[in-house]
Structure 1
Amino acid sequence: MSKRAYNFNAGPAALPLEVLERAQAEFVDFRGTGMSIMEMSHRGKVYEEVHNEAESRLLSLLGDVKGYKVLFLQGGASTQFAMLPMNLLSQGKVASYVHSGSWADKAIKEAKLIGETQIVASSEANKFMSIPDLSGIQLSDQSAYLHVTSNETIEGTQYQVYPDTGNIPLIADMSSDILSREIDLNQFGLIYAGAQKNLGPSGVTIVIAREDLISESPKNIPTMMRYNTHLSNNSLYNTPPAFSVYMVNEVLKWIGEQGSLAGLEKINRKKAQLIYDTIDNSGGFYRGPVEAGSRSIMNVTFRLTNEELEKQFIKESEQEGFIGLKGHRSVGGLRASIYNAVPYESCKALTDFMLHFQKSNG
């Protein structure tokens, strides 16, 4: 095949080549059935085996903690912004949110449509270039939950540690860094993530939740918006995004082959450090705007001395096969999204290009 692009897209993002090749081999005839997995019934034994394998593999990677259930849903993390408070924000309670950037802001706006919502910490004062310090956070007894956005893809910030919320459930939107490093699942009441960055293709959204937290949903919300609808039906109440779930299962296999979360975290930190070192050692030619203690290992954001030079960087990088390095339209600049499937070799090629570009334009 022709040379693959250096894919630094923020999402949908790079998928492991090994996974794509396996899917290609099974695309027309899945497990000897004479059908693609996209053609078969979601009620059939073959698909249900894949469905259950994906749930089992995901929980295994997170330590097989008891009392948690995986849901395979649709609508992206953006639907979870509303579904979460619809299910967990009861009368007399307040939803507590940490405002860490663009995606946290979207979650907060949706929660305010559902019920009483408060911002308990924010880094808006420094333009979201750091994660708020939550070490001494005090939550009201009326808090239904504390919601955090684990990694802000647009700004390039990431939690290094998570707060202890005691009996108040900690909820995390982990769409852009799920399974990129080890976590203690016991810290969380519920985690949700769109698949299209670290888990697979777009089309399926993963919810990992304590069963006791989602076993009783309000009866005055639509059936499809109730967590317990999907819990009691093994995420098969309606037709699931079968091909996306299959691809998630294959990506989870691949993660195990990389040494599981501990192995992947080591690789991911090595990739990020390579690019951050290139930025920091450039003598000011490149500038990383995020405070060092909040830097993301998934989305490396950086700037040049002026926008014209940034446009030139993007143009020349695209000519060399680099895709997706333009920063989000809301903040500008440059961004390298280096999710699990982005190989170290792509990051090394990027830093080589950065050094060459600096030499030519510095």
Structure 2
Amino acid sequence: MLGDSMFTRKINLTTVVIQFNFKRYSVRDFRKDYTLTENIYYKEWFKDKNIPTEIREDVKLAQFYELVFKREIYQRVRTGERLNISYRQFKKISTKLLAEFIFYVLRQSEFKRVIEGRDTIIVKVSVMEGTEEGTYAEMVNEDSDFQRISLDVSGAWLLGRICLPWMFLKKIDSAFLLKTISHELEHYIELTRGIYQKEYAAIQKISKFMKVNPKKIGALPVVYEILCNLYTEGIAVFQEKRYARYIKFDLDKIELIKREVEAISVMKDKRRAQERYERVFPDSEGGEYYLGFMMCFFIGLSLAQKENATLSILAPRKETISYTKLNSYILEDRNFVIAQLSPEIFVKTYTKLSSITTFQKFVNVYLQSCRELGLGRLVQFIDKPWITKIIKNTKRARK
């Protein structure tokens, strides 16, 4: 069947229905992505010298963001193995495996709030052509409610991370799937908790102001989005990294992010501010996503120190330090790798974060955690004077 696909499963007392829609990813879209992928392997476009100049960027993006297990698949190709995947096969494999993975994630205890209290919940998955760099799936807030989760996913992502690996190697990129689906389901939890209601109200006010005074808006909507994302995206990244073994702390990166936000805040043109934001913060590994995640992680450290006097540093050298030395350690080393929170502390931290309903409260909880950890202002990622500064910048730029 070339139309929609549907899968149903009973999880606890809730019937979960997953519906796939391919109206925005046609046979032509599939063939374009599949031909590009074939050429990467069969014409060795993974070597820069072989890539036609006019499509160099498209090929590099496909290799970096969409294709996995490239070396293993290429070894199979070198032995003469070829696959001629039809649109029908692509849909059958990708929908079945993605549906099974969504069912698996929904059975995990941390996502019980997604389905509890509902007789039925529908997960509507719309497969789309094209994707922004690093964006594989996205929850559609406007089309989601208490009974429905609406997700947009990239067809090229399904092809490169699920379908091709399964056809060649009988495995999929499960670690990345877990990270991506967990991130978007966390946004659904935030939506049903009402986290976005104030955000939408403010965006409406900004939109009205833009219509009346289009030249006076400046960077305000971009800065507002950044501040809101500190909590909503920060906690989502925190959730997706639940099973990570270690966390990379980079004070230089944090300071660079803050300088970029400050540079955006003084821009007078909204379009240019948005373009700069998208250019300097292209994915969830940087920008306010990383900043918000580190705030969540340090809230977790403040809980961890109540049960353990030391924490483990894994790199640049293995050592154990006391929490009383954390402030000086950050100032001296700046960039290091630290062990992930224990499962028990992660749950306690996530529970605490989940009780927060506003960006302002999130900042207050973070600053209180810094005080408990003995962290001075030089190693605090965010503080109220900095927030006040960038907001004032937008006001001055609009005059």
Q: Same fold (TM over 0.5)?
A: no
By relative contact order (CA 8 Å, sep 6+), the higher-ranking structure is 1
> Could you say which structure has the larger radius of gyration?
2
More helix by share: 2
TM-score (ref. length: structure 2): 0.25
